[in-house]
Amino acid sequence: MANLLTRRKFLNMAGVAGGSAAVYQMAMVLGLMSGRTHGSPGIVAPLGKTKRSVVLLGGGLSSLMCAYELDRAGYECTILEASHRIGGRNLTLRSGDLIDELGNQQHCRFDDELHLYFNAGPARIPAHHHYVMHYCRKLGVALESFTNVNYNTWVHDTRAFGGKPIRFRRYIADARGFIAELSAKAINAGAFDAPLSSEDLERLSAFLKSYGDLDADARYRGSSRAGYRSPGVLAPTAGMLEHPDLNLPLGLSEILKSDFWKWKMHFGEKNDQSALMLQPVGGMDNIVKAFVRNIRSPMLIRAQVKSIRIGNDGVTVVYQHRGEHKAIKADYCMNCIPMHLLVGIDNNFPVAYRKALSATGRLKFFKLGIQMSERFWERENIYGGISWTNQDITQIGYPSPRHSRQKGSRAGRLSLRP
Ligand SMILES: Cc1cc2nc3c(=O)[nH]c(=O)nc-3n(C[C@H](O)[C@H](O)[C@H](O)COP(=O)(O)OP(=O)(O)OC[C@H]3O[C@@H](n4cnc5c(N)ncnc54)[C@H](O)[C@@H]3O)c2cc1C
């Protein structure tokens, strides 16, 4: 029994590996949460003449959403936010903005131009984030498409392909081609005949040819999907663009040498990363600004929560504001401080709850935004998406879609497993 993998343990493991988004996805898959295909959050029943107060801890998006709904239902809310700004991880940087994390202050030195911004936290919204979509619609936040996958970006692995970057499309097409060819050989060798009828085998053979772009002999000899070695030429007769030189297949052993196939290759197929993704026009923090415009309750910044005590008739929260310790008492308290930070705050929560809080892990992750004086990647036919490398930076993101201007910002991201 000790080794039994319970749903709780499984969700915990998913949380350590992929954060709250992974837990949410897994809980939906396990049927523990409703996986609605559209919708809005449940409406909080109006209070009427009763008076009720709520203190909301943290000023990130989750807190803003709660405050917005509770406000409308007639609750008296107060948001306590430790930092100098509202928005939490939802952070868009523009010229002159202060970045004040862990005391290492920086100012964003981008040129002061509207399109030069960097979403330092979340950048993309998957189509199934129904609540975020709901509030964007309701609060008038305009959305545009976000390019997460782009077949023209680069795959760079110092251990393969002579250390030279190759196009994403070439890796994908060649990997598929070789796998399809191997599978076709297995069919011909009779290795597949047990579970499949002869009709199925025929269809499978046709499927593999189409899937891997194999030739009539079920061999992979390169594909137009992998791109061309030279630019096209106009065919004299048809007046059509022809490409005589296919890229040579990379070679299966080179493909396998690179670790791209482990997860980077499939990154854009994950439920929360696949097309079509969206982003607010002009910066992710437009969602924060829209909430702030529509919330009546006070939001205290530089108000760091120090203690949370649950009593019989409400909750007392002590916070530090302008060098002083102050206390606020409310009927309810909604915690929107991430669990790994909450665990360090004095509290009288039940022991089992505290234990659960301490059991959560976190990923090490950073994003770095760089302004470039020239959008040189557009000369390489790259408009949005991510290039991948096996070096520390891991991902290099391109602006999406603010194309064809002179200057642009690029994002580098590093993610490490916990
Ligand atoms: C680099 C990065 C990229 C991401 N990319 C995406 C993405 O592309 N798409 C996506 O959907 N999600 C993404 N996420 C996740 C997304 O940002 C979060 O899920 C979401 O912003 C969390 O909102 P929140 O309100 O729960 O928490 P937070 O935004 O973390 O808000 C918590 C707030 O609590 C405050 N706080 C902490 N301690 C105290 C204290 N003692 N007293 C008072 N206040 C305190 C913090 O300052 C903060 O403002 C990304 C996250 C990061 C970090």
Q: Per the domain annotation, does 314 fall within a domain?
A: no
Q: Residue 101: what pLDDT?
A: 77
Q: Residue 231: what pLDDT?
A: 73
Residue 194 pLDDT more than 80?
A: no
**Per-residue pLDDT reduced to its tens digit, 56-110:** 999 999 999 999 999 999 999 999 999 999 999 999 999 999 998 777 899 999 9
Q: Closest residue (by CA) to atom 15 of ligand 1?
A: 122
Q: How far apart are CA 272 and CA 257, in angstroms?
A: 28
Domain boundary among 229, 257, 285: 257
* Rounded mean pLDDT, 331-350: 96
Do you find a cis peptide bond into 276, omega within 30 degrees of 0? Answer: yes
Q: Give the domain range for residue 245.
A: 165-257
181 lines ligand 1 (CB under 6 A): no
Domain boundary among 257, 292, 324: 257
Element (H, E) at 54: strand 53-57
Q: Per the domain annotation, does 374 fall within a domain?
A: no
60 lines ligand 1 (CB under 6 A): yes
Which of 65-79, 309-323, 399-413 is predicted least confidently? 399-413
Question: Which is it for strands 241-242 and 233-234: parallel, antiparallel or unpaired?
Answer: antiparallel
- Residue 364 Cα to ligand 1 midpoint, Å, equals 14
Q: 240: pLDDT confidence band, cut at 50, 70 and 90? A: low
Q: Ligand 1: which atom is nearest the Cα of residue 80? A: 43
Residue 149 pLDDT more than 70?
A: yes
Quick one: DSSP state of residue 268? G
- Residue 88 Cα to ligand 1 midpoint, Å, equals 5
340 lines ligand 1 (CB under 6 A): no
Q: Closest residue (by CA) to atom 20 of ligand 1?
A: 89
Q: Per the domain annotation, does 199 fall within a domain?
A: yes
Residue 168 pLDDT more than 70?
A: yes
Q: Ligand 1: which atom is nearest the Cα of residue 337? A: 34
- Residue 135 Cα to ligand 1 midpoint, Å, equals 17
Q: Per the domain annotation, does 185 fall within a domain?
A: yes
Domain of 173, CATH number, reads: 1.20.1440.240
* Rounded mean pLDDT, 209-224: 96
- Residue 121 Cα to ligand 1 midpoint, Å, equals 8
> Which letter, b or e, does each residue of 55-76 get, where b requires 16 or more Cβ atoms within 10 Å of its Cβ?
bbbbbbbbbbbbbbbbbeeebb
Do you find a cis peptide bond into 244, omega within 30 degrees of 0? Answer: no
25 lines ligand 1 (CB under 6 A): no
The dihedrals phi and psi of 324, each to the nearest 5 degrees, come to: -115, 150
Query: Coil, strand, or helix at residue 253?
Result: helix
Which of 337, 341, 368 has most ligand 1 atoms within 8 Å of its beta carbon, as the pocket-test mutant?
337
Share of the chain above pLDDT 90, in %: 70
Q: Per the domain annotation, does 85 fall within a domain?
A: no
Q: How far apart are CA 264 and CA 153, in angstroms?
A: 13
Q: Ligand 1: which atom is nearest the Cα of residue 88? A: 49
**Per-residue pLDDT reduced to its tens digit, 361-390:** 888 888 999 999 899 999 999 999 999 999
Domain boundary among 240, 257, 274: 257
The tally of domains found in the chain comes to: 2
347 lines ligand 1 (CB under 6 A): no
Q: Ligand 1: which atom is nearest the Cα of residue 319? A: 42
67 lines ligand 1 (CB under 6 A): no
- Residue 60 Cα to ligand 1 midpoint, Å, equals 6
Q: Which residue has the higher pLDDT, 147 or 8?
A: 147
Q: Ligand 1: which atom is nearest the Cα of residue 345? A: 41
Q: Per the domain annotation, does 30 fall within a domain?
A: yes
**Per-residue pLDDT reduced to its tens digit, 279-312:** 999 999 999 999 999 999 999 999 999 999 999 9
Q: Which residue has the higher pLDDT, 85 or 115?
A: 85
Q: Per the domain annotation, does 23 fall within a domain?
A: yes
77 lines ligand 1 (CB under 6 A): no
Q: Closest residue (by CA) to atom 52 of ligand 1?
A: 121
Q: Per the domain annotation, does 172 fall within a domain?
A: yes
